[in-house]
Homo-oligomer: A and B are copies of this chain.
Amino acid sequence: MSTYKLTYFDVRGRGEVIRLVFAQAQVEYEDVRILPAEWDSSKTDRSRFPMGCCPVMDLDGMTMMQSMVIARHLARKFGLAGNDEKEMTMIDMMSDLCTDMLNEMFELIFEKDAKRKEDMTTAFAKKSETYMSVFTGWLEKNGDDKGFLVGNTVTLADLALFNLLEQLSTKHADILTKNPPMQAFLDRVKVEPNVAAWLEKRPKGEMDI
């Protein structure tokens, strides 16, 4: 049997979407959380971290990199990537957009120049409205605005959006307040049994991101 070993920092960041896929599929894996001191001494080990980055996932002698590549791989295997080419493409597009917005949020968090941070904050607020309205539109189009993004079961797209919204909720709660369908979606996925079980048992993490 294949053994999955995921290595990432002890934060949600770019790794949590992968952990959510494992949780939803109820598949066991090794959730290795590398601490700063260990990272400093091991990030140049190219056999473990070929690009000097995390997350990586080891499986049957293969080291996978890039959070969404890993998430897509697992989603295909675990039946969370769509039932046909059209669904697969929609799910891929939605997940990729979540990653883009998450990346923009991270850039904002790590920006040190005050003036630049101010401009980025304004741009992020504006752009976030576009993201939220696009996702709200997709939810509405896929039924009664009370379900999931694609089809009628949880897919990678829902987990990616849930992850984005959960991370936004700690740093940009106003975005959720302004977009009730997004808050409702967050609340809905939060109580999906497999997601809820993970939220209950997951480590608190080194930082609240």
Contact = CB atoms under 8 A, between A and B. Distances in A.
Nearest to A60: B86
B51 A65 contact: no
A130 interface: yes
A69 interface: yes
27 contacts: A50-B134, A51-B97, A51-B131, A52-B130, A62-B86, A62-B90, A64-B89, A64-B93, A65-B93, A65-B97, A66-B92, A66-B93, A66-B96, A66-B97, A68-B96, A69-B89, A69-B92, A69-B93, A69-B96, A72-B92, A73-B85, A73-B88, A73-B89, A73-B92, A76-B85, A76-B88, A77-B85
Given A50-B134, A62-B89, A73-B89, 4 more contacts: A64-B89, A69-B93, A72-B92, A77-B85
Chain A: interface residue count, which band?
20 to 34
Nearest to A52: B130
Could you tell me the dominant secondary structure of chain A's interface residues? helix
Contacts of A77: 85
Nearest to A66: B96
A100 B51 CA distance: 12
A166 to B, nearest CB: 22
A93 B51 CA distance: 12
A156 to B, nearest CB: 13
A141 to B, nearest CB: 11
A92 B96 CA distance: 13
Contacts of A88: 73, 76
B66 A134 contact: no
A189 B108 CA distance: 39
Nearest to A116: B113
Closest 9 CB pairs of A and B: A69-B93, A73-B89, A66-B96, A69-B92, A69-B96, A50-B134, A66-B93, A65-B93, A51-B130
